Chain A
Amino acid sequence: MSDVKSVAEQRWFLPKSSLGDLVRKLCEQGYTVIAPVRRDGVITILPITEAADIARGVADEQDGGHYRLHDDPEDKYFRYSVGPDGPKRYFFPPRQKLFTMHVAGDRFEMDTVGPEPPKYAFIGVRPCDLAAIAVQDRVFGIASDQSTFRCETETYYQQTRLQSLLIAVNCTRPGGTCFCDSQNTGPEVTEHHLFDVAMTELRGGFVMRVGSDKGRALIDELPVREPNEAELELEELRLIRAREHMGRSLDPQQARDALAKAVEHPRWDEVAERCLSCGNCTMVCPTCFCSTVTDSSDLASNKVTRHRQWESCHTLAFTYVTSGPSRNNTRSRYRQWLRHKLSTWYEQFGSSGCVGCGRCITWCPVGIDLTEEAAIIAADRTLTTTHRSESEVCS
């Protein structure tokens, strides 16, 4: 995505009735269009074929361990904040066949190598998820600003990601567990985000801006007009109001410093009493990238298949090393997750691992709130010593 500063300030207006044209255009260009859909009581992101598939007239209510959808009198598309799933599911699938091999004489022969990377266009990506994509770009080694640690290149992620199109939407109604404002990742798409098109929903349509040449080319094919003064003013107003409605907040610098020191802290015991180590927080986290690779054989012991699937630092089995599990209790596993996410992530990838989407708070069955845990530890003035934990780095 190249820089197009000349048009960065430019705005367009797409009437609401023309959202279908956008979806159609993307389908024509060979994209699988992924957008928020209302399904089984949640907003999830799924492939769609027309604008009518996109969730509309629905708002969400989110709190620790609590998520509800209700019909919304304002018949808008994007009145909800993020659901459990983000684009991570498509760039880094939860379970993926890597290859199959078979025995041929005294050696193995390769049958298939991975699936073809699909061409995805996402509609309605929130700024926090854009930020999360940028974090995973660094994790999987495709970011241009790769200054720190570089993981082994992920071909599938790379290709899927590079041929994807991201149509972001600014958040005008943040959820109860959102804190992107304090993480500097939202609620508005800025020049720091990687995106193709960003839009703000108003009653009559969308105020749009572009973030790439691909986005600029797309705009040219849409029935857009120039927005009027009132529309631009309303957009600004909505974005200011969104900042005032953040459900949570977290001071990233304070959390980073405090957690670096808090290798031992009584709060870890308290949170371990509540933590189920069920792994939900890591599964819904848009930046968590842990996976496990398993080989399976068939009954004739002729064919072997290698799969990769999402794993979690909260499971005991995932911490197994030669001498046994390296993090043998919930306390050490929760501590590892929180300290990595908010503190040691900087050393590993040059940023925080948290984008403030609030998913881990909402989807924790018992509502453990990382902003609360971090704030309590940060408020402890007795934290002075800095030690290194026995195992700081994830995977």
Chain B
Amino acid sequence: MTDTAKPKLAVYKFSSCDGCQLSLLNLEDELLDLVGAVEIAYFLEARRKTLPPPYDIGLVEGSISTPEEEQRIHQIRRDCKYLVAIGACATSGGIQALRNWARLDDYAEAVYAKPEYLHTLETATPVAAHVFVDFELRGCPVNAQQLLELICAKLIGRKPNIATHSVCIECKRLGYPCVMVSASKPCLGPITNAGCGALCPSCGRACYGCFGPMEQPNIASLGDHLMQDQHVDARGMKRMLRSFNGYLEPFKQASDHYERLES
């Protein structure tokens, strides 16, 4: 990135709900500074005009779910110097990756009147399953401040401050009472990556893991405890783990374990 030209930013959408791109647009207070710092070169949700590649930073939202997407992601990798997968879909396959445990045709027939028009892959997979990704930003949706931190860090060439520890540490720093200890709610906070600002516990709700597994999570221990003390059964454990990040290791492996316990 040179001083003379602004770095070019590209934002892409794959199979997703648009929520992560919206997080970027929701940065209302910082949006003018953002367009001052980078050239929005390709962001169909924000700007009709597109500039030709190469791009300095590429943000990819969504999972790879169709043959067309499988092709497109390779071109995008070639077009972007620094490629970031943003959100649960792009980093784990997302909620649509639930189909990876089922027969695609069953879903297609249940949902669509004419499933023969569908051109889709058997599985929904994260971007990193297809191309090299420089950074992954978790969350469903991503935390806008984390997204901003990542862009700021990239612009100045420093390491982004993105925590990899549990949600519990955020809860405690913010002074939220532990919903698991004080209210016996089955909380995934102790195995989930921080980043959301402990949003659910701040409202007295248990964490449901939308930022995916933290560094070295001990899912077996939390599972044992929830099953013994809080009457969550194996099916319950499986369903808790198989949500937005279900197809991401080690949630995937643990959910398979609880599925085996079910039968």
B45 at the interface (CB under 8 A from A): no
B80 at the interface (CB under 8 A from A): no
When the two chains form their complex, are residues B174 and A297 in contact, meaning their CB atoms are under 8 A apart? no
Distance in angstroms from B117 CB to nearest chain A CB is 44
A94 at the interface (CB under 8 A from B): yes
Question: Contact residues of B with A, CB < 8 Å?
Answer: 30, 33-34, 36-37, 148-149, 151-153, 155-156, 158, 161, 163-166, 168-169, 172-178, 180-183, 187, 189-191, 204, 215-218, 220-222, 224-225, 229
Interface string of A142-179 (1 = CB under 8 A from B): 00000000000000000000000000000000000000
Q: Given A296-B149, A297-B153, answer yes or no on A66-B36 (Cβ-Cβ < 8 Å).
A: no
Distance in angstroms from A101 CB to nearest chain B CB is 13
- Secondary structure type dominating chain B contacts: helix
Q: A67-B181, A300-B36, A366-B190 are in contact. List 6 more A-B contacts (CB 8 A).
A: A94-B172, A274-B218, A278-B166, A278-B168, A316-B215, A366-B224
When the two chains form their complex, are residues B190 and A278 in contact, meaning their CB atoms are under 8 A apart? yes
Interface string of A53-89 (1 = CB under 8 A from B): 0000000000001111100000000000000110001
A310 at the interface (CB under 8 A from B): yes
How far does the alpha carbon of A85 sit from the alpha carbon of B176 in the complex, in Å?
Answer: 10
Distance in angstroms from B59 CB to nearest chain A CB is 15
When the two chains form their complex, are residues B173 and A95 in contact, meaning their CB atoms are under 8 A apart? yes
When the two chains form their complex, are residues B165 and A40 in contact, meaning their CB atoms are under 8 A apart? no
Question: Contact residues of A with B, CB < 8 Å?
Answer: 39-42, 44, 65-69, 84-85, 89, 94-95, 273-280, 283-284, 294-301, 309-312, 315-318, 329-330, 362-363, 365-367
When the two chains form their complex, are residues A312 and B175 in contact, meaning their CB atoms are under 8 A apart? no
Closest 10 CB pairs of A and B: A283-B172, A278-B190, A94-B173, A315-B165, A278-B166, A278-B168, A299-B37, A299-B33, A42-B177, A276-B190
Q: Which residues of the partner chain B approach A316 to less than 8 Å between Cβ atoms?
A: 164-165, 215-216
How far does the alpha carbon of A314 sit from the alpha carbon of B152 in the complex, in Å?
Answer: 28
Output the residue of A41, A94, A278 with the most chain B CB within 10 A.
A278
When the two chains form their complex, are residues B36 and A299 in contact, meaning their CB atoms are under 8 A apart? yes
Distance in angstroms from B132 CB to nearest chain A CB is 21
Q: Which residues of the partner chain A approach B153 to less than 8 Å between Cβ atoms?
A: 297
Contact among A89, A94, A283, A294 for B168, CB-based, below 8 A: A283
When the two chains form their complex, are residues A66 and B181 in contact, meaning their CB atoms are under 8 A apart? yes
Q: Which residues of the partner chain B approach A280 to less than 8 Å between Cβ atoms?
A: 168-169, 172, 178, 190
Q: Which residues of the partner chain A approach B164 to less than 8 Å between Cβ atoms?
A: 315-317
Contact among A275, A283, A365 for B180, CB-based, below 8 A: A365
When the two chains form their complex, are residues B37 and A300 in contact, meaning their CB atoms are under 8 A apart? yes
- Chain A: CB-nearest residue to B161: A294
- Chain A: CB-nearest residue to B181: A67
How far does the alpha carbon of A277 sit from the alpha carbon of B167 in the complex, in Å?
Answer: 11
When the two chains form their complex, are residues A67 and B182 in contact, meaning their CB atoms are under 8 A apart? yes
How far does the alpha carbon of A95 sit from the alpha carbon of B194 in the complex, in Å?
Answer: 15
When the two chains form their complex, are residues B151 and A299 in contact, meaning their CB atoms are under 8 A apart? yes
When the two chains form their complex, are residues B33 and A279 in contact, meaning their CB atoms are under 8 A apart? no
When the two chains form their complex, are residues A283 and B181 in contact, meaning their CB atoms are under 8 A apart? no
Distance in angstroms from A322 CB to nearest chain B CB is 14
How far does the alpha carbon of A366 sit from the alpha carbon of B183 in the complex, in Å?
Answer: 14
Q: Given A94-B174, A298-B152, A301-B156, answer yes or no on A315-B169 (Cβ-Cβ < 8 Å).
A: yes
Q: Which residues of the partner chain A approach B180 to less than 8 Å between Cβ atoms?
A: 65, 365
Distance in angstroms from A280 CB to nearest chain B CB is 5
When the two chains form their complex, are residues B169 and A365 in contact, meaning their CB atoms are under 8 A apart? no
Q: Which residues of the partner chain B approach A275 to less than 8 Å between Cβ atoms?
A: 218, 221
When the two chains form their complex, are residues B218 and A365 in contact, meaning their CB atoms are under 8 A apart? no
